[in-house]
Amino acid sequence: MDSFGDTIRKLREDNELPLRTVAAFLDIDQAILSKIERGQRKPTREQVVKLAEYFKVKETDFLVAWLSDKLVYEVEDEDIALKALQVAEEKVKYITKNKGKK
Amino acid sequence: MDSFGDTIRKLREDNELPLRTVAAFLDIDQAILSKIERGQRKPTREQVVKLAEYFKVKETDFLVAWLSDKLVYEVEDEDIALKALQVAEEKVKYITKNKGKK
DNA sequence: ACCTGTTTTGACAGATTTTGTCAAATTTAG
DNA sequence: CTAAATTTGACAAAATCTGTCAAAACAGGT
């Protein structure tokens, strides 16, 4: 069960790229990328999109990994985490179902 | 499928209380409470807890409604919203399962 | 129409969080 | 030991959050 950070670290290491190179492509300091890879910082949506492009991964896959990480982060110190996620799921289903109506 | 704001508005109106009164209990301006009820502002965790106390509702129920609202807010303009929630659910299950280990 | 109390709106401000830079320290690989 | 790569932490600018305040809009009663 890898976090987004784990994923891009593996990709970067498999391609034997230094932080510097990838960070330059993202237009940020390598310190930030280092922290993102280790889960100390959350990347922005734009950075995730760029990373998908850079590593030639389906953008949607990266976005799902990133967004779900954010959700986990948001609920993780609540013991009602699971329940909240499930209720949120129902709400989203309800909302998309009634999209455009009324 | 009510949002947290809908819920407390109904409770307040059922008890025929003006915004002023409830807002005073929360120690905020009534303008904020008005916005919270209509979903224009997100209440803080502490406010949710106080509201549960005020309306004599189980704190957990309010926290679930509140947290799930926040989650919906966070994903709602992504078309991968549902998938992200589901992945987040898996991650949370995985994390709580391995709590205290390693 | 006119009061009176309630609610909503929007401009504003202070506090907090996010997002990043930079340089120094640490780690890793020869 | 050296050189490159990575990590750490102090700091700053920008963005977001949380609230106040006063004016505008609304609702009900007389």
Question: Which segment of A21-25, A93-97, B83-87 scores lowest on mean pLDDT?
Answer: A93-97
As a whole number of angstroms, the distance between CA A84 and CA A71 comes to 10
Q: Domain locations in chain A?
A: 4-97
Closest CA to B60 of A83, A39, A59, A20: A83
Report the gap between the CA of A1 and the closest CA in chain B (Å): 7
Question: What's B61's DSSP letter?
Answer: H
Domain A4-97 has CATH 1.10.260.40: yes
Q: Which CATH code for domain B4-77?
A: 1.10.260.40
Beta-carbon contacts below 8 Å between A and B? 104
What is residue A102's predicted lDDT score, i.e. its pLDDT?
46
Which residue of B82, B90, B92 is in closest CB contact with A75? Answer: B92
Is the CB of B35 within 7 Å of strand D?
A: no
B80 contacts in chain A (CB < 8 Å): 60, 63-64, 67
pLDDT, tens digit, 9 for 90 and up, residues A26-50: 999 999 999 999 999 999 999 999 9
The neighbour count for residue A57, using CB atoms within 10 Å, is 15
* Residue closest to sugar C1' of C21 by CA: A29
What is residue B100's predicted lDDT score, i.e. its pLDDT?
61
What is residue A72's predicted lDDT score, i.e. its pLDDT?
96
Question: Is A92 at the interface with chain B, CB within 8 A?
Answer: yes
A70 contacts in chain B (CB < 8 Å): 74
Q: Which structure tokens are listed for A87?
A: 């209720």
Q: Examine the pLDDT at B13 and tell me if it is beyond 50.
A: yes
pLDDT, tens digit, 9 for 90 and up, residues B19-55: 999 999 999 999 999 999 999 999 999 999 999 999 9
Q: What is the mean pLDDT of chain B?
A: 95
What is residue A2's predicted lDDT score, i.e. its pLDDT?
86
